[in-house]
Homo-oligomer: A and B are copies of this chain.
Amino acid sequence: MNEQQNVSIIEVGPRDGLQNEKGLVTTENKLTFIKMLLDAGITSIEPTSFVHPKYVPQMGDAAALYSELIKRVDPLIYNLSCLVPNVKGYEQSQKVGVKEIAIFSAASDSFSKKNVHATVDESLANLKKVAAMAKSDGVKVRGYVSTVFGCPYEGQVDIDRVHQVCETLFNYGCYEVSLGDTIGVATPGQVQQIIPAFKKNFDLNKLAFHFHDTRGIAMANVLTAFNGGARIFDASAGGLGGCPYAPGSTGNVATEDLVYMFNSMGVNSGIDLAKLLDASLFILTALGKRSPSRLVRSLRKVEGAYCEF
């Protein structure tokens, strides 16, 4: 039916996923998880974040993890983007030679204040310094905008404000900006409405869509974005994740759900679903939890091999 089309999936499970799990995962298990994800064909992955361990103890091993990771995986072949919240985080990331960072700002002040104790403008001013340092160090920068589709404190977020934040991040030198549905309130109708405005102001090939499946509608949002021309999606293996500062949010949309759907449509993500499931089941077992993804759960039912793959 379709011509062959491609999508890029950015795997955020090791960072956005694991940072919200109660259980601490050992550095060695994280490394195995990341290696399995790369073996499944994932080429862009967020391995960790350089945040203060007081706030996110799950990422307390960022430096050790990254140092060990680049002994096993070539950071020039894979995109191994590490989240940094500020100059201090950036400096720490550079001590271990991080080649790509991700910076983030919310689009709503209330969320920004709760999350990073700064307004959006203050937060952007801080990021400007980080981005400038990265530029002079030859470090790639990816950007995130959170609360694009709604804020837990303010409700609907002004789309012009989202565009401003996006534009600022591009001006700072971000090669790609990810639009976060931080609390999982995006709807297909909203995505349908929002896409033409983004298309007008930005290159859709530089915008990623980052959905959470709080209301079970993430896959319909992904499909709507895809139909509107989006080709880059963030996702989390097994559907791990959430946001500690976003009340009621649940996990990121599962990478498996995306690969399964795109496979069915003849759209290539370059990811091997069976190997991806192996990676997810490895980390889920380490965490002692079930995947929130119905797909992952239903495919576990078949003994020995994953049904149909």
Residue numbers of A with Cβ under 8 A of B are 1, 184-185, 187-190, 192-193, 213-217, 219-220, 222-224, 227, 248, 250, 254, 257, 260-261, 263-266, 293-295, 298-299, 301, 308
Contact = CB atoms under 8 A, between A and B. Distances in A.
B227 A261 contact: no
A109 to B, nearest CB: 21
A188 B193 CA distance: 21
A189 B308 CA distance: 15
How many copies of this kind of chain does the complex include? 2
Interface of A is mostly: helix
Given A187-B261, A217-B295, A264-B188, A193 B1 contact: yes
A294 B187 contact: no
A264 B187 contact: yes
A219 B214 CA distance: 14
Contacts of A260: 187, 215, 217
A294 B224 contact: no
B263 A189 contact: yes
Interface pairs A-B: 5 shortest CB-CB: A189-B264, A187-B264, A216-B294, A189-B265, A219-B220
A184 to B, nearest CB: 8
Contacts of A298: 184, 214-215, 248, 250
A260 to B, nearest CB: 7
Given A1-B193, A265-B192, A295 B216 contact: yes
A294 B215 CA distance: 5
A91 B224 CA distance: 47
